[in-house]
Every structure is written in C-alpha cells, then in structure tokens.
Amino acid sequence: MITVNEVTKGFGSRTLFDNVSVKFSPGYRYGLTGPNGAGKSTFMKILTGEVEPTNNGTVGRPARVGVLKQDQFAYDNERIVDTVVMGNEVLWNAFKEREELCQLTELSEAQMLRLGDLESIIADENGYTAEFEAGEILRGIGIPDDQHENLMSTLATDYKFRVLLAQALFAGPQALLLDEPTNHLDLESIHWLEEFLCDYEGVLIVISHDRHFLNSVCTHIADIDYDTIIVYPGNYDDMVEHKMQARQSIEADNREKAKKIAQLQEFVSRFAAGQRSSQVQSRKKEIARLAPQELKKSNIQRPYIRFEQEKPLGREILRVEGLTKGFDDKVLFKDFRLDVYRSDKIAIIGSNGVGKTTLLRCLIGEMEPDKGSIKWGDNASWSYYPQDYHQDIPNGTTAYDWLMQYMTDEGHQFVRSVLGRMLFSGDEAQKATEALSGGEAARLLMARMMMQKNPILVFDEPTNHLDLEAVNALGEGLSVFPGTVFVVSHDRDLISDVATRILSFTPEGLVDFSGTYPEYLETHRFKEYSRISRR
C-alpha cells in the first residue's frame, strides 16, 4: 500500500494540490489524470521520494517500488540485460560487490564471510535466474535475444525507453509507478503491456495520455483537480461520467437553493420593519442554512482545434507508383502503390522501426525514395507536424512572435484568437519558446497548422505530449476536417475516431485497407496485435 497523508505542493503562488490524503491499495490499478501542468509528474515524484512536499506531509511506500526512469541515456555504457536487472537495486549491488571481491587475489576471513552473505542475498533475490527473467521481459517489449548482451548505446531512443520500462517491471515490485509508459511503444508492445499490468497484483499508479490504455488497465482513477486528488472507481470513461454527474448535481442543487433563497429574501424585505420579526429571523436563518455549495473552478481546459482549408483540391490528391525505400540491407517498403482521394483520412500503423515516418517523409519530399514516383495533385499543399518539435520551434523567441511569422492578411487579433483557442491566453502567449512544455509545444505546432489552412494535414505521432483533453479535441478536429489527413499514431482511440483508411506495416508487407480501424481488425480476423502475447 502507498499512503499519502496531508501533502501539499506548490510552486511560487501556485498550488498544485493542497493537504491531500489518499491511499493506493494492492490489487488495484490507478490512473493518475489531469491536464498538462496539473502536477501529475510532480505528484509521482513525491510518491517516489524524488521531490519533497511543500509542507510536512508524509508518504508511506512499500520496500520494493518499481519506477520508470525518464533519462534514456543514463545507462549507455551498460549491457541491456544488466540495465534491466538494475531494477532490483539490492540484487544489483550484491552482484557488484561480489564481483569486486572475486577480483582480489587473496581474501581475508571477513571478506570470505561477506562473500557468503552476498551469495545468500543473491539467492534470496532470485539472482541465479535474473538474466532469464530479464530476457523474458525484454522479449515481451520487442527486444530480441540477440541484442540482450549489447550496450544500451546501440539502441535507438525509443528502444532505450523500452529497456527502462523492463527495468521498472523487473523483480516483482510491490508497487509500480509508471509515467507515460506508452509514449515510445508501438501498438503491439502496448497490447503486451496492458496484459502484463492487468495481471500485476501490487499497487499500480500510471500516468498516460492514452484513453484506450487507461480504460483497458485501470480499476480506479486518481484525478488531480480542484487543488486536490479525488479517487473515482472504474476506468477513465467512468471517471469522466462520475465527475460530470457530481458537478451537474451540485449545480442543480445550487439552482434550487437560489430559488428558495430568493423567495425567503422577498419575505424578509417585505416584513423586516413590521410585526413579524420572529418569522423574519426564522427566514434569515433558513437563508444562511441554504447557502449554495461552493463550486471550485476546475483546472481542466480543452483546446478548440478546428482545421480549415482555404482552397479545396480536386478529387485526386496523390498517386504513388512502385515506391521503394530501405537502409543498408533492410527494405522498409517495396513497389508500393497508393492512390489518395479528397477527404481520405489515412492512419499509418505498425511496429517501431518498420518505416512509418520514412514513408511520410518520402511522400512530402523530405526524403528521397530509392525507386518509384510520387505525384501530387494540382495546387496540393500540406501542413506537417513532425515527431520532434524542437526542429521547428527555435529557442530565443515567444509563442506569439513565433506564430506571427505565419500570419498572412488576417491581422494580429486573428493570431491572438488562435493562440487563445490553443490555451495560450493573456500572458501565456508571451511565454519563451525554450520554456514550453511538450504539451504546449504540441499545441503551438497545431496552432500553426490551423493558421496555414492547407487542404492536406500530415501528423507524425501528434499525441505523444498531449493530455487527454487535447487528444480528444484533436480527434474531434480531424474527424470534421473536410480535407485529407495522414497520421502516424499509436493512439487507438484517435485512429478509431479519425481514420477512414489504414496503411498497415505487416510482416507480409505494407497493406492498404479501405475502412475504419475497427473494420480493419475485424476483417483481418485477429485480436488487436495479439501476436505479441504469444512471444
């Protein structure tokens, strides 16, 4: 069990949560939710002990806690399998100390005794099967056996993140704290992780922007709002319903109270100076008793995302013939053919590293294919959302000034209105670009796309830094967009809500399927990426 007792945390004049007391019990899986900036990661760090509360609040935690590390480069000089085993700190320290003693040419009696103690620790911590158990987890998240002995530095960033996830899962922690575990995982690995976590018997607390993941995994939602943390039973969708019903109930009750107060106040006003003083006093007491319940302002904010197209294109948008691309000896796609039409909304899916981003970059001319032709329709123009926003938003300017360079003839007020719709209101519009959070940078890139009004939108993993409200708003915006959309994403709800067509990288090649994502899964007659569960 993890217990939080009267914890307060704030920065400057801003309070994230005030005097919070909450318990997280074994056997339950909690999603920690709230908009960007609500304090989710800060609260998680308080749970791990990395950050201290502002007040004297306390946190009680079990002896063995698995924590997902965020620095993918911290273990570059370690073997992949060793990095996983480091998830059991007691075992890893015993291994290191034993190795140091074994390198000595002569051992004292005390050192011999210590060596025996270390062997007992290693046995108690299942150290003799540690590499086997670590290997099983690594295979589960998509890292094959022949890479387990390699150094972490040989892995791409997204695979380093997977190893850190394996590290958190290793050694059967009594509590598991995961901050955005799906960010760098493909659909197959997310499915594997869901199955793993649903079988986990300890305390699970997870932050995620993936609604489908939260709905699949969580038994409870701990929601940061109203300067506190409220635990709701059920998954994310259940929490949203409970929260709306509770607020609507209070609002309805307050309206009824307001009507009664108005009636009582009218009586008091009429007879305050008359002979009915006792009745007046009675009604004044009733007015005080009926005081409406204070309804704190929620910190949830949803951006308003709507994309327009200035000049609609003709029916035929794109024709691709014989497209081939590979690197070294690995062919990503070969002799691929594609015809795209106006209003097509195409989701590109598949495992990490199969070529999704490469395909996008070939289509928009950022990368040359090895073979084949790409012919866009007349006057085709697009807005592009890259996976790494740093290349598009430089330091040394403000959100407002950066967006102003994309203004045409609409005027300054139009830029202000777009920023406001994307939650950069007032002074937030003058925020320095180097100080932007990942979510803020993502919203700023989408603000640019809204201003450009191009008939084609191209997205590469747009949900990685967005909170749940922003992801939902993006799905709504894309679903009503009259133009053409290409989106690479592992967010199943976004794909299901938006896509009318699926390009799927499969072991048999690149499949072009006309239909929605649920239809694609049904047509191919297999559970969603269940192949990973049989590894």
Burial of 217 (0-12, 13-18, 19+ CB in 10 A): buried
- pTM across the whole model: 0.74
The DSSP line for 379-435 is T--EEEE-S-GGGTS-SSSBHHHHHHTT--SS-HHHHHHHHHHTT--GGGGG-BGGG
The sign one gets for the Cα dihedral 357, 359, 365, 367 is: positive
Query: CB within 8 A of 192, min separation 6: which ones?
Result: 140, 141, 532, 533, 535
Same-domain check for residues 497 and 350: yes
Q: Which helix (H) or strand (E) is 339 found in, with range?
A: strand 330-341
**Region 78-95: what's the mean pLDDT?**
94
Point out the least confidently predicted range of 48-57, 107-116, 268-277: 268-277
Burial of 374 (0-12, 13-18, 19+ CB in 10 A): middle
pLDDT at 529 over 70: no
Chain centroid to CA 517: how far? 21
Q: Which among 178, 84, 76, 205 is positioned nearest to 140, based on CA atoms? A: 84
Residue 303 maps to a domain? no
Ramachandran quadrant class, 511 (left: phi over 0; alpha: psi -120 to 50; beta: rest)? beta
What is residue 526's predicted lDDT score, i.e. its pLDDT?
47
Tokens of 363: 């289509």
Q: Which amino acid is at 249?
A: S
Query: Residue 322 is part of which domain span?
Result: 316-534
Residue 278 maps to a domain? no
Domain boundary residue, one of 208, 238, 268? 238
Residue 479 maps to a domain? yes
Same-domain check for residues 233 and 341: no
What is residue 323's predicted lDDT score, i.e. its pLDDT?
95
Half-sphere exposure in the Cβ direction for 377 (13 Å, CA): 18
Q: Which helix (H) or strand (E) is 19 found in, with range?
A: strand 14-24
Residue 209 maps to a domain? yes
Domain boundary residue, one of 169, 203, 238? 238
Average pLDDT value for the chain: 88
Most confident of 135-144, 201-210, 272-281, 385-394: 201-210
Point out the least confidently predicted range of 7-21, 121-135, 306-320: 7-21
pLDDT at 57 over 80: yes
What is residue 386's predicted lDDT score, i.e. its pLDDT?
92
**Per-residue pLDDT tens digits for 492-510:** 999 999 999 999 998 888 8
Residue 296 maps to a domain? no
Pair 32, 207: CB distance under 8 Å: yes
Same-domain check for residues 63 and 188: yes
Pair 230, 202: CB distance under 8 Å: no
**Tell me, what CATH number does 89's domain have?**
3.40.50.300
Residue 284 maps to a domain? no
**Region 168-195: what's the mean pLDDT?**
85
Domain count, the chain: 2
